[in-house]
Chains A and B, each alone.
Chain A
């Protein structure tokens, strides 16, 4: 099942991968994401919004799938630069994505703000998930 907002593919350059299997990896991923976003020309609060969104999707991997990876890369579309964040795992998958995207819905020990929160922080957000196979969240933010 797929849940997306304004979805189109974009080419990614400079891809960096961060394996995620414990809480310290969440910090590593968001710090690398901030660096990459700064290199891509993002400034000010955008850097924090991107790092926070990465933190939320990376934690989702640790809490629900135990392990997975974050892929970070610079991207552009029609000459506009941006950053792409992919959070991929081979965990249990999300049975009801509509429900998972609602504020306050959680099956783990969380506030249920992770995915809907990350979506609000970024410009584009897509989840593809299959029960028993895993989940891939792809998010992008474009430079103002």
Chain B
């Protein structure tokens, strides 16, 4: 099940629709890294609302998506981590350190604007 990636201005929105296999997650990473360059995007939102499980592999892949897209000039915000998933991540000892998160897509887009502006000022 591949993840649809929508372009909205200079932001890409990856909206996960259902449980993903490891291969789907790796494909998402490749597609986002490629699209960020081709579409000259400045920001990426990954909506994980539909994920009922985020295990160590999923978390590591999302972290590496954020790192790879940053190297390609875009900032990433992860939105929609479910409360039960957040509890499980803490129990697993996993964090998303250094990655912006927000409750939902709307808030995520606001956060992204702030993060993108902060990065522009740093340059």
A residues whose Cβ falls under 8 Å from a Cβ of B: 23-24, 26-27, 30-31, 34, 44-45, 47-49, 51-52, 55-56, 59, 62, 103, 110-111, 113-114, 116-117, 120-121
B10 at the interface (CB under 8 A from A): no
With A and B bound together, what is the CA distance between A49 and B54 in angstroms? 10
A contact patch SS:
helix
If the complex has contacts A120-B92, A121-B88, are A23 and B21 also in contact, measured as CB distance less than 8 A?
A: yes
Q: Which chain B residue lies CB-closest to A122?
A: B91
B34 at the interface (CB under 8 A from A): no
- B94: chain A residues at CB < 8 Å are 111, 113, 117
In the assembled complex, the CB of A117 is this many whole angstroms from the nearest CB of chain B, namely 4
Q: Which chain B residue lies CB-closest to A33?
A: B53
A23 touches B55 (CB 8 A): no
- A51: chain B residues at CB < 8 Å are 52-53
If the complex has contacts A23-B22, A103-B93, are A48 and B56 also in contact, measured as CB distance less than 8 A?
A: no
Q: Which of B9-33 contact A (CB under 8 A)?
A: 19-23
Q: Which chain B residue lies CB-closest to A121?
A: B91
In the assembled complex, the CB of A93 is this many whole angstroms from the nearest CB of chain B, namely 21
Known interface pairs A27-B19, A51-B53, A52-B54; 5 further A-B residue pairs with C-beta atoms within 8 A, sorted by A's residue number: A31-B19, A48-B85, A56-B55, A56-B92, A62-B22
B39-63 CB mask vs A (1 if < 8 Å, else 0) is 0000000000000111111001000
In the assembled complex, the CB of B44 is this many whole angstroms from the nearest CB of chain A, namely 22
Q: Which chain A residue lies CB-closest to B90?
A: A120
With A and B bound together, what is the CA distance between A27 and B54 in angstroms? 11
In the assembled complex, the CB of B1 is this many whole angstroms from the nearest CB of chain A, namely 10
| 9 closest A-B pairs by CB | A48-B84, A117-B92, A23-B22, A55-B55, A45-B84, A23-B21, A113-B56, A52-B88, A45-B87
- B98: chain A residues at CB < 8 Å are none
B57-88 CB mask vs A (1 if < 8 Å, else 0) is 10010000000000000000000001111011
With A and B bound together, what is the CA distance between A49 and B89 in angstroms? 9
- Among B19, B56, B85, B94, residue most surrounded by chain A Cβ atoms (within 10 Å): B56
With A and B bound together, what is the CA distance between A21 and B55 in angstroms? 18
Q: Which of A44, A110, A113 contacts B92 (CB 8 A)?
A: A113
Q: Which chain B residue lies CB-closest to A58?
A: B55
Q: Which of A47, A59, A103 contacts B22 (CB 8 A)?
A: A59
With A and B bound together, what is the CA distance between A23 and B58 in angstroms? 12
